[in-house]
Each structure stands twice: as structure tokens, then as C-alpha cells.
């Protein structure tokens, strides 16, 4: 079972800004074929930020032997993904989930703020648009249709 990922050119441009060497449009291309074409054997790590049955299966299928898939997107409670034991055992693939990036806010947010202040990372570059509070509906609409990567509501 396979369902293509929702993609936008905005997402691709954003990914390239942060070092992506390749992007794959799941609406127009066979994801697994393209991964194998690019890598030869598959990827060592795959992340699913959508969380549907089809995308979960895709990230496992895209793995190289001994690769690790991470489910980031929160699927519905009813979502089940058919992953074969053969594939997991004989290819030594692993799958895990992460909730909120396994972040520890009381520790990690301070570290990230320090790294940003020291100019070792640039958190501002993650923000693609800011909104005043009365523009909140526009912000949600743009987020829902994939036109922005990250929006921030400002309070003046």
C-alpha cells in the first residue's frame, strides 16, 4: 500500500536551504524508485513527518539494510502500517517513533537559545513568515496549504 506524500515547492526550497542534496515529489515520482536511483541501496535513515499508512511503508521500503526509520508525523489512532517481519529481520531494519523530537524543554530550549545567541545555529532562518494576531486565520490557511514552512505570531 502506498500513498504519495503531500509536497510543495516551498518545502523543497526550504529543505535545500538547510542542505538537502535531493528532493523527491511523491505526487509526481515513485518515491522508492527515486531513492534507489539516487542511493543505490537505500538510505540509512528515513523520517516520516506525515504519518499515514502509505508514508510509513515508504520510509521502511526506502531503507538500506540495517537502516533506521523514524515516524515523526502523528497518525490517527486507527492508522496501521503493514510492515513484513521478513523485511525487518533479514534486512535488520528498525523503526521507532518520536514525540516532539524527544525534546526536554527545560534542558533543550536553553541549549538551543544559547547556540542561537552564539551564532552557531540560526533559528530565525526557520521562520518563513510572521503574523500579527489579527492575521492568525491567514497564517493557519497558509500553513494548511503548505505555503509556509514555519510561521510565528507576534504580539505588539
Q: What is the pLDDT of residues 78-134, one digit of tens each?
A: 888 888 899 899 999 999 998 878 889 999 999 999 999 999 988 888 888 899 999
Q: Reply yes or no on whether the pLDDT at 29 is more than 50.
A: yes
- Average pLDDT over the chain, rounded to whole? 86
At 120 the three-state DSSP class reads coil
Distance, CA of 119 to CA of 123 (rounded, Å) = 9
The predicted structure's pLDDT at residue 76: 80
Distance, CA of 7 to CA of 15 (rounded, Å) = 12
Core vs surface per residue 2-34: b (16+ CB within 10 A) or e: eebbebeeebeebeeeeeeeeebebeeeebbeb
Query: Domain spanning 9-102 has what CATH number?
Result: 3.40.50.720
* Domain spans in the chain, listed from the N-terminal domain onward: 9-102, 106-154
Q: Reply yes or no on whether the pLDDT at 2 is more than 50.
A: no
> Strands 129-132 and 43-48, how do they pair?
unpaired
pLDDT-above-70 percentage for the chain: 94
Amino acid at each position: 500500500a502506498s500513498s504519495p506524500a503531500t509536497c510543495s515547492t516551498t518545502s523543497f526550497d526550504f529543505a535545500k536551504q538547510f542542505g538537502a542534496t535531493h528532493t523527491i515529489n511523491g505526487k509526481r515520482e515513485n518515491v522508492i524508485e527515486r531513492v534507489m536511483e539516487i542511493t543505490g541501496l537505500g538510505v540509512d535513515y528515513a523520517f516520516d513527518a506525515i504519518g499515514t499508512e502509505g508514508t510509513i511503508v515508504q520510509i521502511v521500503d526506502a531503507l538500506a539494510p540495517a537502516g533506521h526509520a523514524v515516524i515523526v508525523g502523528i497518525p490517527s489512532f486507527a492508522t496501521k502500517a503493514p510492515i513484513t517481519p521478513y523485511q525487518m529481520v533479514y534486512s535488520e531494519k528498525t523503526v521507532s517513533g518520536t514525540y516532539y523530537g524527544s525534546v526536554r524543554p527545560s534542558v533543550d530550549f536553553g541549549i538551543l537559545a544559547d547556540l542561537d545567541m552564539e551564532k552557531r545555529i540560526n533559528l530565525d532562518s526557520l521562520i518563513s513568515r510572521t503574523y500579527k494576531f489579527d492575521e492568525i486565520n491567514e497564517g493557519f490557511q497558509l500553513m494548511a496549504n503548505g505555503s509556509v514552512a514555519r510561521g510565528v505570531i507576534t504580539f505588539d
